[in-house]
Structure 1
Amino acid sequence: MSMIHGGHDDPDAAPALMVGRVEEWQPGYVDSHLHLKHQLMFATQGVLHVATASNEWILPPSRAIWITSNTLHSVRLKKPALANVLYIQPDALTAPDLGECFVLDASPLVKELITTCTQFAWDYPLDSRQARLAQVLLDQLSEVGQTPVSLPLPTDERALAVANAVKTDPGGRLPLTDIAKKNDTSARTVERLFASETGLSFGAWRQRLRLIVGLELLAYGTPVATVAAEIGYSTSSAFVAAFRDMFGVTPARYFS
C-alpha cells in the first residue's frame, strides 16, 4: 500500500478535524488494525473488501464506506485499487451513527466533498473554510442512502465452516444437507445457527453472498450474462431481478 498524498505519516496524530489522503493498494491483504478516528473511504478505482470479526463489506466504485473509530478491521484486494480516505476526529464533529461499518451511496456532491477534503493540509484551524466544508460533508452523510452489501458471518465453528465452504464456490448448487455433512454437522444445526447468528436463513445468506460476488464481478466489468452464470443463476433476467430486489436498482443503474 502506498500513500499518494498527505502531509503526515500518521493521520490519527493530525490535529485538524478531518484529514485525508489518496491511497493506492496492490492486490493483497491489510491485516486487522484500528484507527483512533472515524474513517470514510471512497474507491475511485478497483474494489475494496473490508471485514470485521462478524461481518464483511464490499466497496465498489461509486460507493463509500464508513468505519467507526476503534473498529478492528482488515482490507483485502484482488486487483489494484485507488481510494480517497478521510480520517475524522470522533470528538470534534457531530458524525452520523452508522454502526461499526456501513456502505453508503455517494452522491455527486458527496464524491466532490470527499475529493476536496482529501486535499486539505493536515493542520488547518477550527474556524477555517476547510473545517466548514468538512462539517458539510458530515451533514450530507446523515442524509445519504445506505447500501445493503454486508455479509454477516456466523461465529459458531460449525456454521462458519459451512459459510467458508460456500464462499469458495458461490455459484455451486450442492444442497445444504451435503455441505453440512462434508463439514461434520447437520442441515438443521446449520439453519439454526445461521438464523440466530446472522439474522438470515441459510438460503437467504447464500443468495446474499451470490449477489455480493456478482456485484464485485460487475464492478470489474464482467458482462451480466457471465456474472449470472458464474454465481449460479440460470438466466441473466433471473440475476437482474434478484439484484434489483436486493439493491433496489438494476446493475446498470447501480453503477451509473
Structure 2
Amino acid sequence: MEIFEGRKLVIATKHHKESVIAPILEANLKVKCFVPHDFDTDTLGTFTGEIERKNDALSTARQKCLLAMEQSNCDLGIASEGSFGPHPTIFIAHADDEFLIFIDKKYNLEIIVRELSLDTNFNAATINSFQNLVDLVKNVGFPEHAVILKSTAPNDNLVVKGIQSWELLEKSFHKLTTNNSQVAVETDMRALFNPTRMKVIEKATEKLVEKIKSLCPECKTPGFGVVNSKSGLPCEWCGLPTNSTKSHVYQCQSCNFEQEKMFPNDKKTEDPMYCDRCNP
C-alpha cells in the first residue's frame, strides 16, 4: 500500500517473532521490517511468573509496541501478546489467545486483530518420576517444542527454561529432585521455543494484513473493520431469530463511517439444533 511503502517498521520482540511477521508485512505492505537492538519484552511480564504482567494482553501489546517505536525512533510498529488457558466457550480445551497491534503515528492509525486458536500444546503438571515426565513431554511435541522445569521445594526458585534435548531434560529433572520428590513441568510458550504458537502468530499477521488492506468506503483509511456483531440469524425450520450472528458492523476509526454487512458467515439460516424453539 502506498502510505506504507518504503517505510521502516519496528517489530517489538525478543523471541524471534519477526521470522513469521516480517515476510508477510514486507510482501504485502512493502515496508522494511527490523527488530530493535537489546529490546527486553520480559520487563512487561514473563510466562513463568518471575515478572507479573500488570495489564491485559492487548494493553501489554500496545505498551510493548510504543516502547519499541520510541526506543528505535520509528513511527511505524507492530507487537503481539498471547495468553494461554481454557477456551472461553469450549471449557475442556486449551486455547492460544493472540493479540496483534499495528500502530502508525504518522497517520494516527491503530489496527488490532485477535486470533483465538485451539491449536496449542499448552500444558502443565506436577510429576514425581522421570517416566511421567517423558510421557508428558512426548504429548506436547518435545523436543521440537521446549519445556520448562521448576522446583516445587519451598523457597526454591530454581527454573530451567528452553529445554529442547533429552539430555538436558534428564539432567535438569535430577537436579531439581535432589531435595524434593516432585517437579513442575510446563510447555515453554515463548514463540521461539514453540512452533505451534508461532504458526498462530503467523495466522494473526495474515488476518492483520487483510484488515489493513480493508479501506473505508468513505475516506479510504486502512483498517475498516468489525466493531460489533448482531445476532438473529433465522432458524431454517421455524424462521425465528437465533443467537447466531446475522450481521457484522464495520466502522472507520478516522471518519467513523459505519456499514452493516449481512450474513458474514455465508449463511442465511441457522441449523435448527441451535434454535431455542426447535431444540429447547
TM-score, normalising length: structure 1 = 0.28
Structure number with higher relative contact order (C-alpha < 8 Å, ≥ 6 residues apart): 1
TM-score, normalising length: structure 2 = 0.26
Q: Which protein is bigger by CA-based radius of gyration?
A: 2
Instruction: Decide which structure has greater strand share.
Output: 2
Instruction: Decide which structure has greater helix share.
Output: 1
